[in-house]
Structure 1
């Protein structure tokens, strides 16, 4: 069994980007500038955004944090998105999800300029991804593809089972794993909450990508020997014996599934760090695309 170490791989990617940024500076070019929009004070969102800002500083990007009140109206937020779209200093920006319940997330994401949509959520970018055109890939699926490639995990002709059909992870993963080229060329089954007898699919899978958010859902008796397991799930599970009072758990019963797997991602330290690294890579791409225009 080999760990797909997302933490180390993400640091390698950030180091590679930092070298490119230094070269841009040396050539007198403007360095990439990423903004993050945070509405309210959700604890997890604050942590994620803070990590993104620190990563920008680490590699030499410019970064801007736009903090907005929890009770901001949808109209006011849309006006702010318009300002960011028109700000020529910004190469890309993200709106941290989830948003407060009184705001329509889809309406906000649709309002983002596709050329600045470094999260890769806009339908324009999603469509380009499906057509295998150059675009911003959703950061988490992009990170998974990068892990598979850097660890030379064989994907061509393999049976990949994706558990979960969200627009952020499951559905884009099913598209990316079936596209031509490496990593890809896989035969994909997309399963979800309405799929009957999921274990019938997982037992025959060469690669399993699970993004359910159900702790320890995937058990050892649901997989075959030599399977590749990508665990996107991340859930806080109460644990009074732990100093923090909780532990972070993935969708996979890691202790037992890892005994059968050829490759597996840990939680934490697997897919999570890769998401931020690929967001930075998308921002670098946004800068390059802007220059080419």
Structure 2
């Protein structure tokens, strides 16, 4: 049995292949509409003809659902191992895992198509006890046979432990707030900017336009550290009014005059106090933007 992400139309109509989607929506070759979106089953939208089997399983006509996914029988000879998984599908499987622990095994899934690991990149290895160890990528992801089947691993030089094969699911790039990054895979491939926020493996990127805050979100593993190529008009936050929140100048209103990256790849701001006109160099955690009353980073 195989769990599939369905394409659903409400009132409930199940479509699980592209050809079937087109046939169901196109009475003629001249008129074809957009395929229904990939989505998990929402029982609350299917009040009629939906049979509940258990807390996670449902049946509609000839279709069986488990955790919102279609459960379908295939011959083993008709299946091949996937080398990658689109970001949209990976996100839906992640949702199923969060809602129904144990239904899907994310460790055996292929590497998401929007992840990219290159030799020499600094990463964090996430252990089952939430402990994180630093390391450096030695080889790109590759398949390896394990007790649960084929899994994808990277060869990592782990601090104090040496070379180890680590599952890609347990690897997160070591990127910090204030770093300048380039997106190397996924929807925003080719874009770059400063990391303005970070949460649960995702980065909020500021491209550098004054007053816009976070411009887009990306997964940490779809980005890589880069060196900004500044021109004067490209520097973020120039002219932005801020309030100093720590240190001897705490409470002082100021205006950002310059932005730079120091030797530790940390963001440094040169601000000018509005009341005295004196210039002071501060870190990105030392100020708050007046417009949003958020940490400027």
TM-score, structure 2 normalization: 0.25
Q: Which has the higher strand share?
A: 2
Q: Which has the higher helix share?
A: 1
Higher relative contact order (CA 8 A, sep 6+): 1
Instruction: Choose 1 or 2 for highest CA Rg.
Output: 2
